[in-house]
Amino acid sequence: MENTNSIFAITQNTKAIITNQSDYFKTVILEGKYKHYSTHRAEKILDVNCIHFGSSLTGRRTAVRNLFKIYNKIPVSVNPLQGVYMMPTSSVKSKDCVWLSYYHIDYYVQQDNQTYVVFMDGSGLLVNVSINSLDMQYKRTSQIIARLNRPIFFSSTNK
């Protein structure tokens, strides 16, 4: 059995998980001003972290799929109690897939056929996705966050 203790822990400081085209390091993780390299694929990192916070990656995806009828590029609530929501920029099977942390995104601008994402700390990342596609992912993630947090703000007795 694989040792999951060696898998990167996603925290509130994690800004992005980037697919890396290397035979050894499968991902680059941006956390604060640091870059971490991992031998694990992004889905494995997400799955272990989701399990740590109460459900598997598959369980989180299934919940979103059932609630929102979203079937591809599904945003994931990794740790909803701490506001850690990750959204993929493209298909998870794509070499261009980057998982962005929703609350770290300040704004994004089109740069030719790509999109430059500016994080709250002023750093940025160029992702290979159109601005329209990224904007749709951002809005989807907003809807998921609002729906999943509704019970916190509105109890069933307030109907």
Q: Could you report the per-residue pLDDT of 87-130, keeping only the tens digit for each? A: 999 998 899 999 999 999 999 999 999 999 999 999 999 999 99
Strand partners, 99: 17, 88
* Residue-range domain boundaries for the chain: 4-150
Q: Are strands 114-119 and 27-31 parallel, antiparallel or unpaired?
A: unpaired
- At residue 159, the pLDDT reads 52
Write down the pLDDT at residue 130: 96
Neighbour tally for 106: CB within 10 Å: 13
Q: Are 27 and 42 in contact (CB under 8 A)?
A: yes
pTM of the complete model: 0.91
Determine the pLDDT at residue 145.
Answer: 94
Q: What is the pLDDT along the chain (159 residues), one digit of tens a residue?
A: 344 457 899 999 999 999 998 889 999 999 999 999 999 999 999 999 999 999 999 999 999 999 999 999 999 999 988 999 999 999 988 999 999 999 999 999 999 999 999 999 999 999 999 999 999 999 999 999 999 888 888 876 555
The predicted pLDDT at position 5 comes to: 52
